Structure 1
């Protein structure tokens, strides 16, 4: 596993990115498949986007929520609460650097 970048120095300071292996067969690749399946299942299910006629923003929020919940419930990812609470702020947008 790659070490975590340092926390932000201030609210809007740049957040250093760490490299992630996204190639076929990588750990990320497997998590992406599991999360994507959970998100798609939600979107197509009775409480999802098609049944509720949701806006695109609601679809994205719902799909991300379902994917994260699924990965957390499976114990495949953990929330670093200390790190989350220690940061003066977290960026909600990121520059696109992954192909």
Structure 2
């Protein structure tokens, strides 16, 4: 996900590549900035979580589609604008 977001220029002023940190290093950085995101929330975002969802899609009578990465190119402009606006309100 992060590589795809970087490839679409979603993050303003982002480096060409993010550092490859160990899980322990990530948690250490998270602890250095307390209050914004819990360790549990971070783990849900940062680690791969796979759930069997066939029954949900069958019950909903919907096709799951190609997934979020396949659609990100169409949404990248919105994400860029949203992040820029948030950064401007913080400045």
TM-score between the two structures when normalised by the length of structure 1: 0.24
Higher Rg of the two aligned structures: 2
TM-score between the two structures when normalised by the length of structure 2: 0.25
Q: Which has the higher helix share?
A: 2
